[in-house]
Structure 1
């Protein structure tokens, strides 16, 4: 009984390589009984992968049907790019309209992020987390009560593709907690690597962002809610305060 079992294993081991070799011969010289494979379900734009298709198993849809992108006219519609396509840039900003978590996908965690201007959001942020906590989240909370009305619309995209740097004009629209409408266009200079922003400089309209903070942050205008006590400063403290003010007048931004 045991001997016959060993013989069956040996026979199976002999036949399997033969069958495999036979299939390889057919693949070389062709097999007239074969027919073309059906069209893969990977590129129908639905994001659903056909289990019988020729997908690579990553869940990534190859060559999806392009969406409208609000009729945006791309200066360079090429997808054969060394750095990043303009379409990817458009999508990267649009993603943030409804899913702010995408921020951690489209921007590198160690990004060098500079917000230029004379306002509380301005500063040099040496990583994404500092920018998110000290700037982006602070601004996003101004729209918390009407988050569903927040919109992002890229207005212009220049450079990119085979250029490491690109310039974007981005419109941000929404309704603030105060009920006031908000509509601003910011200019972004972005450097890309592996489909992520690794260096950013953005220019924000100071009067508009300061007005938004003033109307929607309770502690921004706290003097209306409490009495403030001001202690008398000694001579050295007054001189230090003057030095701080002088540095603020000369400097464009702060380090965070």
Structure 2
């Protein structure tokens, strides 16, 4: 079995698929450079990402798959899971080597795996859209940081750009150390140095950078939440099912 080491990008994964056919490998274990441990007895082939090769593979998949399945592929990749990278590699081979419609065969382990992972990533994306809470800074930018299980930031752009089109905002992923900044015209990727010391809880920005009214807004929201809560109808089991505890750190109404 050949070992292919790629850079962890989507382009790198697709380039690896291209080299599988070009090099006529019999079987491949695909590993990202982040998770690769060199072995003198099993030398690896280093996959250098090449846009042209990646585009050819992506185009080939697009001729066999509809837009929904292409999105399943992309969402699965955003999971960042080592096993999923291998599944995507094998899924690509399966689709390329078979007639159109092969993606409907859920008896194939890779078809099933990609479908299931895509739904997990989509669920995480949906929860981030619902649970993100912004804080207004002194310079008028609305800021929020998150620590999602998967790299869902790219999937959040359309929702927040449409919903908050009239205000500048930043959503920062503390785990992956990058964020999105919307300047009223476009969304661009940004990085900060201070995030290594940031708390994953909401209200973690220093008071000196917040808008003077931000604390008041938070208190008003907490009071509203308490006033609409009906203790007699409290059902924590159902509540936790819809709002898992790992997301409570984003909700101001859950902060003491």
Same topology, TM > 0.5 = no
| Greater helix fraction, Structure 1 or Structure 2 | 2
- TM-score of the superposition, structure 2-length normalised? 0.25
Structure number with the bigger relative contact order (C-alpha 8 A, sep ≥ 6) is: 1
Bigger-Rg structure (1/2)? 1
